[in-house]
Amino acid sequence: MPASLTPLFRCAVLALFVFASSCAQPVKPAPAAPEIIPAQAPAAVVPAAAAAAAPIAALAADAVPPPSAEKLDAFIAETAKSSGMPAQQIRNWLGQARYQQSIINAITRPAEGKPWKDYRPIFLTETRISQGRAFYAEHKSEIDKVSKDTGVPGEIIVAIIGVETSYGRITGSYRVLDALYTLAFYYPRREEFFRSELSHLFALAREENLDLATLKGSYAGAMGFGQFMPSSYRNYAKDGDGDGRRDLLGSTRDAFASVANYFIGYGWHTGEPVFLPGSADAGAAPFKPDDFVAKYT
């Protein structure tokens, strides 16, 4: 979850609007949460030279040159040290990664870059609000328990999931390995951040026994109901259902506990205002220029 003001906190403000009139009687229940695909071991180890050359074939169709051997070798060495995954295994996975031009296209024109006046109507619809009420009603006991334990309001937990994935309906169709590989080596503007996230992905796969060949998420590599980046998954995910796993893709209880824990990790204090109301100085003239378009960061 990049940026100085994290998406979850930006969404928290929106959450207050989305659930201003929630907690009404339930409507049609939301669909069941998606199931996580069982983890598998990566393909059999192949010679290092062949594995390193694999991205070349993958990129040939798009005429995009592969990352330099120096960059790949440095990344592999550093990631092997930080993640605990063997260097050869990392090299094999990178050999299976695919450059996706659509990911570059998507990240250069993100919906989150819209001004608030355009962004707000996308989410504040009767359909989304009614779906949120239904989702809350369906999972009320689980959400209320997390809220009681953490102090993070249930309506905010639900609204975050609603904004991020439409209550678990849309969790992303990109292979996370491809997304982070593409952004780590072909998006210079934020390559340092995405290389770090790619490194975290390998550590996460080892820790949570995730299958990188099938793991799906957003074009930026975010995963699950709350769209956690790999580093946030590792740092803030919780085992909410007590099964010994932190499954943010298939367990709603884990997702609810993790969203709340993310807020706590970033300084949530129960009972304090989410944002401060703006006020003008007494006697100040209205600011209404005809050509002004507000920009929010």
**DSSP state, 223?**
B
Which among 41, 47, 64, 13 is positioned nearest to 211, based on CA atoms? 41
Please say if 164 is a catalytic residue: yes
Question: Which residues are within 8 A (CB) of 115 and not within 5 positions of it... i.e. 6 or more apart?
Answer: 293, 294, 295, 296
Q: How many CB atoms lie within 10 A of CB 61?
A: 9
Using the Cα atoms of residue 87, residue 93, residue 99 and residue 104 in order, give the sign of their dihedral.
Answer: negative
202: burial class by Cβ within 10 Å (0-12, 13-18, 19+)? buried
Q: Which residue in the list 138, 155, 164, 197 is annotated as catalytic?
A: 164
DSSP string, 6-65: -HHHHHHHHHHHHTTT-S-S--SPPPPPPPPPPP-PPSPP--HHHHHHHHHHHHHTTT-P
Largest CA distance in the chain: 75
Instruction: For residues 53 and 73, give the distance between their C-alpha atoms in angstroms, rounded to a whole number.
Output: 12
Cite the active site residues. Answer: 164
